[in-house]
Amino acid sequence: MTAGNALARSGEAGDDLLFWLGFLLIVVPPAVAIVGPRPSRGARVTLLVGVGFLLYLTKVLHDPFAFTFSDELLHLSNTEQILREGALFPENPILPVSVYYPGLASLTAALSIATGLGAFPAGLIVIGAARTLLMLSLFLLFERLTGSARLASVAGFVYIASPNFLFWTAQFSYQSLALPLAGVAALAVVMRGLERDQNDRQGWTVLFMVLALAVVMTHHLTGYALVATLVAVSLAALAGFGRAREAAWALALFTAVAAAVWLFQVAPIAGDYLGTIFGRSFGGVADTVAGTSEARRPFRSSEGEVAPLWERVTGYVSVLLLALALPMGLFRILRRRRRSAFLVVAGAAGAAFMAILPLRLVPSAWETANRASDFLFVGIGLGIALAALHLGRDGRATAPRRAAAAVFIAVVTIGGALVGWPPSARLSQPYEVRIGDRSVQPPGVALAHWSRRELGPGNGYVADESNGRMLLAYGQQRPFTGRDGLARYALESTAVTPELRAALRENGVAYAAVDRRRVSRDALQGIFFARPGQPLQGRDGYLPPERTGTLDRPDTDRLFDSGDVVVYGVAGLYR
């Protein structure tokens, strides 16, 4: 996989083949071993945790010297500001809600201070430890629910096929830390329900409370998902599923109160932030059903990039395999409904994952469905494991069955990776260009360093999505980005109106970064150079002149010009 990434950066052919060959070598042999009856419990844990960590290293080796994913730059800025200022809740104009959930940034800053490492290596360690904790907690959780180490290891392995597992939950982002913490918290609740000794129950209760507070302070949506899980388990126990002592009303109330206090007292903007996302999702579903909005086409980017045919076929087949196998797993869960209320809730989560798949066809709702998969895929893992091991319940590990298991695992795990990340971003891209013994940084990085050096920190900027993140993370500026109404107004207007002048003045915007490249509109890919031999996105890779020349006026100052990116001083428009 490292060789595939290196070839991709150099523009050579064959990079896709090497990448997927490496992926299969990491995933398939351990999975086939886990499906069989022979490995010991310790071997199963080692294989599951090891594969999860190797796939985390896949993301690290994608960009081994810097954070490059769009959300990573936002959280890197939060961490760097905590290190510089020695206080929580810094300013983040691009994702303001993130600073009010400082679990990731504060933990990374603490590790950086304790070890002397920079924010980047400290962040790699934190997320690597979180990934290890996630895999271990999933195994222990599944083992307690089913009473079988074999079932637990297979269920944990199926979870690897989650669309976000390979890259999204491996990035330096607050959900990547909150999800493992929530997994351990759920394990604590299960252990509490199994214990008969009062002292042991109290111990698990205290552990849960500490972890629940950590989740609440780390990521909003994961905290709410934890509350929903506890309520669902308690309702299931009340309905007669599992054991009555599994009901966790007090723990659900504790977590709900903690989340509510944090929301209203610390992070009130989170309500508006999530309300906007869900409101847009519901409205988009209604528009798509009514035919007033065009449906989203799977495996096609907003810039028209279409995935290769084999990727599209594999992605659809992987979903079909899950859909065919899950009903049998749900039936097995119903057969075991007296064993655990958690088991029933996990089955419902798996069914919910399949039920919300159509949301991926709605442009404004696909992200909601994608984020939900991190939580709901726990039920998919458990259901598929029960179905698979029921088919092989006689214990014979025949060659055809091992071959079938290998094919199934290969297809669903590759399918998950294909669904979760676009082809052009799956492999490493050129971050620097070498010219003799010198290197040239991407335009956005050069712009950010220039801004901090020549203009000083804390200036109001309007910029596109990609350059805005660079200006925030490396330039220490205060950017309004392309998703913000002000930035879009300033960068896409064909004329300078009195309303635009007033908006720039009211927000204290002194500078505007205008990027002619279409790729800069994509925060995930715009920070890279184009691979050799590959054109930039869109028609000839550049925006038309009428879209980029509005601010080129006598009352603005051209301060920086790299050919593709121009910085204007715009204070003259309103002073």
What digits encode the pLDDT tens for the residues 284-339?
Answer: 888 887 777 788 888 876 666 688 888 899 999 999 999 999 999 999 998 888 88
Per-residue pLDDT at 539: 45
Per-residue pLDDT at 303: 60
Per-residue pLDDT at 195: 83
DSSP one-letter string for 327-374: HHHHHHHHHTTTT-HHHHHHHHHHHHHHHTGGGGGSTTTHHHHHHHHH
Parse the chain into domains and list their residue ranges: 2-426, 433-573
Q: Mean per-residue pLDDT for 556-562? A: 93
Per-residue pLDDT at 410: 83
Task: Report the range of poorest mean pLDDT among 23-37, 245-259, 452-466.
Answer: 23-37
**pLDDT tens digit string along 381-393?**
999 998 887 665 5
The residues, ordered by sequence, that sit 6+ positions from 213 with a Cβ below 8 Å of its Cβ are 258
The per-residue b/e assignment along 216-251, b for 16 or more CB within 10 angstroms, e otherwise, is bbbbbbbbbbbbbbbbbbbbbbeeebbeeebbbeeb
Residue 356 CA from chain centroid, whole number: 18
Q: Cβ of 563: how many Cβ atoms within 10 Å?
A: 7
Provide the greatest CA pair distance for the chain: 82
User: Who wins on pLDDT, 209 or 37?
Assistant: 209
Check pLDDT > 70 for residue 537.
no
- Average pLDDT over the chain, rounded to whole? 89
d(CA 474, CA 452): 8
Per-residue pLDDT at 313: 92
Check pLDDT > 70 for residue 161.
yes
The per-residue b/e assignment along 111-127, b for 16 or more CB within 10 angstroms, e otherwise, is bbeeeeeebbebbbebb
d(CA 474, CA 445): 7
Binned at pLDDT 50, 70 and 90, residue 532 comes out as: low
- Which of 348, 351, 345, 300 has its CA nearest to residue 322? 351
DSSP one-letter string for 47-80: HHHHHHHHHHHHHHHHSTTS--SHHHHHHHHHHH
**Dihedral of the CA atoms 239, 242, 246, 248 (nearest 10)?**
-30
What percentage of the chain reaches a pLDDT higher than 90? 61
Q: How are the residues of the chain apportioned to helix, strand and coil, as percentages rounded to the nearest 5?
A: 65, 5, 30
Check pLDDT > 70 for residue 105.
yes
Contact 160, 416 (CB under 8 A): yes
Strand partners, 434: 439
Check pLDDT > 80 for residue 114.
yes
Check pLDDT > 90 for residue 97.
yes
Q: Mean per-residue pLDDT for 425-438? A: 82
Check pLDDT > 70 for residue 446.
yes
d(CA 164, CA 131): 13
- Which of 382, 373, 384 has its CA nearest to residue 416? 373
The residues, ordered by sequence, that sit 6+ positions from 300 with a Cβ below 8 Å of its Cβ are 306, 307
Binned at pLDDT 50, 70 and 90, residue 377 comes out as: very high
Q: List the end-to-end C-alpha distance of the chain, in Å, as a whole number.
A: 54
User: Who wins on pLDDT, 433 or 394?
Assistant: 433
Binned at pLDDT 50, 70 and 90, residue 41 comes out as: very high
- Which of 297, 299, 324, 301 has its CA nearest to residue 312? 299
Contact 519, 541 (CB under 8 A): yes
Binned at pLDDT 50, 70 and 90, residue 170 comes out as: very high
Check pLDDT > 70 for residue 254.
yes
Per-residue pLDDT at 484: 63
Q: From the CA atom positions of the chain, what is the Rg in Å?
A: 25
Helix (H) or strand (E) holding 389: helix 366-391
Task: Report the range of poorest mean pLDDT among 122-131, 331-340, 374-383.
Answer: 331-340
Question: Which range, 68-82, 402-416, 431-445, 485-499, has the best average confidence (pLDDT)?
Answer: 68-82
User: What would the two tokens of residue 473 be?
Assistant: 């993370």
Q: Mean per-residue pLDDT for 152-174? A: 94
d(CA 175, CA 172): 9
**pLDDT tens digit string along 182-223?**
999 999 999 998 888 888 889 999 999 999 999 999 999 999
- Which of 497, 530, 529, 526 has its CA nearest to residue 513? 526
Per-residue pLDDT at 14: 61
Check pLDDT > 50 for residue 538.
no
